[in-house]
């Protein structure tokens, strides 16, 4: 039986940038151990002859072809309401450095 330690909870909290009290760390270690023990019950289930399942609803992805959109509106008319323009583009503030 595997037990989650307080140190492991501290490591996880550090990675997740969580500030936990000692009481919270102790409580989480206990709760996570119970969850882990419960999930280990699945190891006891006989799954021989059971097909692996990744999709139970039989939904399928629906794709459409990309198509070029042709607009009847002139580029200058499109740029008319832009606060700042540069050539045929709308100029915006830098987002990434």
* Span 29-85, pLDDT tens digits: 999 999 999 999 988 999 899 888 887 788 888 888 888 888 888 888 888 889 999
> Within a domain: residue 18?
yes
In a domain, 33, yes or no: yes
Three-class DSSP category at 63: coil
Residue with tokens 């307080």: 6
Q: State pTM to two decimals.
A: 0.50
Residue 95 lies in a domain: no
Residue from 80, 87, 1 nearest 36 by CA:
1
- Count structural domains, the chain: 1
Closest CA to 32 of 1, 15, 7, 9: 9
The answer on pLDDT for 9 being more than 90 is yes
Q: Which residues pair with 86 in a beta bridge?
A: 89
- CATH code for the domain of 33: 1.10.20
CA distances to 82, 83, 91 from 95, in Å: 18, 17, 12
Q: Is residue 15 part of a domain?
A: yes
Angle between helical axes of 6-15 and 22-40 (0-180°, round to 10): 100
The CA-atom distances, in angstroms, between 85 and each of 47, 76, 96 are 63, 10, 19
Range of the domain at 32: 6-44
Q: What gap in Å lies between CA 92 and CA 71, rounded to an integer?
A: 23
């Amino acid at each position: 039986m595997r037990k989650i330690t307080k140190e492991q909870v501290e490591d996880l909290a550090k990675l997740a940038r969580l500030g936990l009290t000692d009481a919270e760390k102790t409580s989480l270690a206990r709760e996570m151990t119970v969850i882990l023990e419960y999930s280990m019950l699945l190891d006891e289930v006989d799954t021989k002859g059971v097909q692996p399942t990744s999709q139970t609803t039989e939904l399928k992805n629906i794709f459409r072809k990309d198509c070029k959109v042709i607009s009847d509106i002139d580029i200058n008319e499109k740029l008319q309401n832009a606060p700042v323009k540069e050539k045929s583009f709308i100029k915006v503030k830098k987002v990434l450095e």
